[in-house]
Structure 1
Amino acid sequence: MASSALKEQQRDLENKANDLSKLQKDIAKNHQVRKKYTIQLGENELVLKELDLLQEDANVYKLIGPVLVKQDLAEANANVRKRIEYISAELKRLDAALQDLEEKQTSKKDAIYKLQQRIQSLQAGKAKA
């Protein structure tokens, strides 16, 4: 009886460990995506600063595929601001997702710890018997 309960607990522990591993992979993926967006945000803010330095009649070109296309300064400014707004929103979303994942990770670790304690107590009880 005790050995079947022990095997059940060990199976449960293995499942929880696999879940924790998946969570850790999701957290790592979140960090990678967040890093990419942070770099893009910095680049776009730099472009915006450069656009702000230009005079109203300055020529602005946008690279579309292999071709440079002339673009209105106001339109370029609006596009970059919109892009910055989008990237900032994505970063906020990623931060919220990361916080949720980290909370799940903490609760999984706690559950694993408690399960390990139970397994140890079952093994100790079995060793005494």
Structure 2
Amino acid sequence: MKKLFIGIDFSKEKLDATIILACGMNEIGSREYGCFPNNTTGYRKLCNWVKTNAWNTIAEEWLFCGEDTGSCSIGLSKWLYGKGYDIWIENAYAIKHSSGIQRVKNDKADSAIIAEYAWRQQDKVVPFEPL
């Protein structure tokens, strides 16, 4: 079972990420937020940030999740896959309609919604595999 959920909001220039630590259906601790460049340097910084905020979990207990944004999401997805991390690239419609009405719309809030989606829907994970 996964314990650490990393929601990623992809854009051409940056990656906004939120970490949620959970045990079953209970959220533990405070959420962490970070912003990184959408390039190889940013991918490394993102992973180091996750390791720093992993609360004694191991990589096998982590789940990275993001919306399928085509070219914006493919680079990090392939990079994480190559490093052996679990990443779930989900249809944006499914994530949007799972969260109900949202009053705040920004990249930070979107990354939190994606992390919550990964946590609550983890039984539906379809792991990313490059073509």
Shorter-chain TM-score range? under 0.3
TM-score (structure 1 length as normaliser): 0.24
The structure with the largest helix share of the pair is 1
More strand by share: 2
Larger Rg, first or second structure (1 or 2): 1
Higher RCO (CA 8 Å, separation ≥ 6 residues): 1
